[in-house]
Amino acid sequence: MAIHLRHTDENPHEAHEINVTPFIDVMLVLLVIFMVTAPLTTVNVPVDLPSSTQQPAPRPDNPVFVTIQANQTLAVGEDIVAQNDLPTALNTAAKGNKDERIFLRADKTVDYATLMSVMDKLRAAGYLKVALVNLQGQEEGAQAP
């Protein structure tokens, strides 16, 4: 029995290997397209966010709260006051001390214009130290106990 070895130059047959060069070309083009478009799909507004390692300031023994309710009525402490009577009520609650920190609480349905109007009234009355009160330790939408 004779064994005959065939050489590629004897019979010109087609090569049965897959040509991967076009596949690689397409993948490189897709890679370049994704590399160019990926940064464009993100919001890229440069901002330097502040950080704080300070603990919240201790709350005074008798804090003065100004509350804006959902129906836009004002309260100093637990007393409902008219907007025109706000400076008089603040002077009474703060005992005339203009350096007293005023804690401003507002319902989350109160619009921005109303909040700014009350803050302007506080500033006009001479109270420049205003702290905005929020719920701490709760996620947005969580109900208070």
User: Which residue is listed with tokens 């909040």?
Assistant: 115
Phi, psi of 81 (to 5 degrees): -130, 155
Helices (H) then strands (E): counts for the chain: 3, 5
Window from 28-42, 52-66, 100-114 with minimum mean pLDDT:
52-66
The number of folded domains in the chain is 1
In a domain, 14, yes or no: no
Side chain identity, residue 144? A
In a domain, 17, yes or no: no
In a domain, 52, yes or no: no
pLDDT, tens digit, for every residue of 13-41? Answer: 666 778 889 899 999 999 999 888 877 66
Highest mean pLDDT, choosing among 27-36, 62-71, 72-81, 124-133: 27-36
CA 70 – CA 52 distance, rounded (Å): 31
In a domain, 26, yes or no: no
Helix-helix angle 112-124:86-93, to 10 degrees: 60
In a domain, 33, yes or no: no
In a domain, 30, yes or no: no
Q: What integer pLDDT is reported at residue 106 of this predicted model?
A: 84
CATH number at residue 76: 3.30.420.270
Expressed as residue numbers, the domain containing 98 is 64-132
